[in-house]
Amino acid sequence: MAETETLAHSKESLALAAFYTQWGEEAVANATGGLNPLTLLRYQYDSWTKHATEPSGVQYENLETDGVTGIWERPTGAAADRVILYFHGGGYIGGSASGHRKLVGHIAKAAGVDALSIDYRFAPEVPFPAQLDDALVAYHWLLAHGYTPSQIVLAGDSAGGALATAVGLKLRDAGDELPAAIVTLSPFYDTEGVGDAFDFNAGNDVMGNREALAGLSSMLLTEGGSMKDPFLSALNSDPTGLPPIYISFGGHEVLKDGGTLFTTLARSKGVDVEYVESPGQQHVFEALAGRSPEADASIASIGKYIRKHLQLS
């Protein structure tokens, strides 16, 4: 059912699979005595987009105020009255605005608008939904500083893509005006591993598997919490009334059925969803921005989508 990009599987894109393989080798080597496994994982997540090139013409500003910490990515000539609010990936347990700076800079440049990429608290020290609470604080901070909902696009990768969707659900439930659109890169929708891709992509996905999913879920929740929580698992949500949503997945991901299943669910509720799958690509393949044609094509498509929904030429 997926609308599929037809780009060839490039040699350049293999660098991400090699990078994820290195993560696994580091974890095995560390198991015999070294860093705390969570410390190592957070170090790895913080280097997630290090292979992206520096986007030319993008300036960065640190933000730390009013309970919101993050980085502004400001492309030259960007529209002054539009913004992307970006949530980084990392399974709710790691990652950072700094580590995702170059990826978000590429997206902001493609869209021609500023982006604010925020940091949020991590599980297991602070279990879910603290991360969602922090995301909502950042959204309301933008409103308090002059942006209207129609001038904001929510975006994120992996767990950050799920957060962007959950913010939309929370705003809808509160009866608030919704942002212009939601953009997700490999969103973590399939929190229970129900998709068949966990089986048929088991030999293709270098990063994800059911064992990793089980280990992550054990860290996210307080006692009595559930991976079925609709604000954690979009597959268990009612998407009725959400703004337009863009979903990008790599064809080799075990999580990709979360995208196709959510697309079917959301469309059945009247939500406008654009699902794009790039053959042979790994989780958040856009991390190779500026280095692989698949990453660059996806970011160009995302930029066009954001401009459309922010009503920019």
Residue 13: predicted pLDDT: 94
Prior bond to 124 cis, omega within 30? yes
Contact 90, 38 (CB under 8 A): no
Residue 222: predicted pLDDT: 81
Helix-strand-coil percent breakdown of the chain, rounded to 5?
40, 20, 45
- Whole domain around residue 78: which residue ranges? 3-309
pLDDT at residue 8 is higher than 80:
no
Residue with more model confidence, 1 or 91: 91
Give the Å distances, CA to CA, from 36 to 33, 217, 234: 8, 18, 31
pLDDT at residue 4 is higher than 50:
no
Domain count, the chain: 1
Our CA angle for 94, 95, 98, nearest 5°, is 145
Tokens of 72: 């502004």
Residue 2: predicted pLDDT: 41
- Residue 284: which CATH number? 3.40.50.1820
- pLDDT tens digits, residue range 186-226? 999 999 999 999 999 999 999 988 888 888 888 888 877 88
**What is the reported pTM?**
0.95
Side chain identity at residue 27, one-letter code: A
Per-residue pLDDT, averaged over 137-158, amounts to 98
Residue 5: predicted pLDDT: 42
Contact 116, 105 (CB under 8 A): no
Q: Of 161, 156, 132, give the one whose Cα is nearest residue 229.
A: 132
SS3 annotation, 9-30: CCCCCHHHHHHHHHHHHHHHHH
Residue 225: predicted pLDDT: 81
Contact 231, 166 (CB under 8 A): yes
Burial class (CB in 10 A: 0-12, 13-18, 19+), 143: middle
Per-residue pLDDT, averaged over 16-38, amounts to 89
Q: In what order do the strands lie in the sheet with 58-65?
A: 3-4, 273-278, 245-250, 181-185, 152-157, 79-87, 113-118, 68-75, 58-65
Residue 3: predicted pLDDT: 43
pLDDT at residue 78 is higher than 90:
yes
- pLDDT tens digits, residue range 46-71? 988 889 999 999 999 999 998 899 99
pLDDT at residue 101 is higher than 90:
yes
Show which residues are catalytic: 158, 253, 283
Tokens of 292: 């692989």
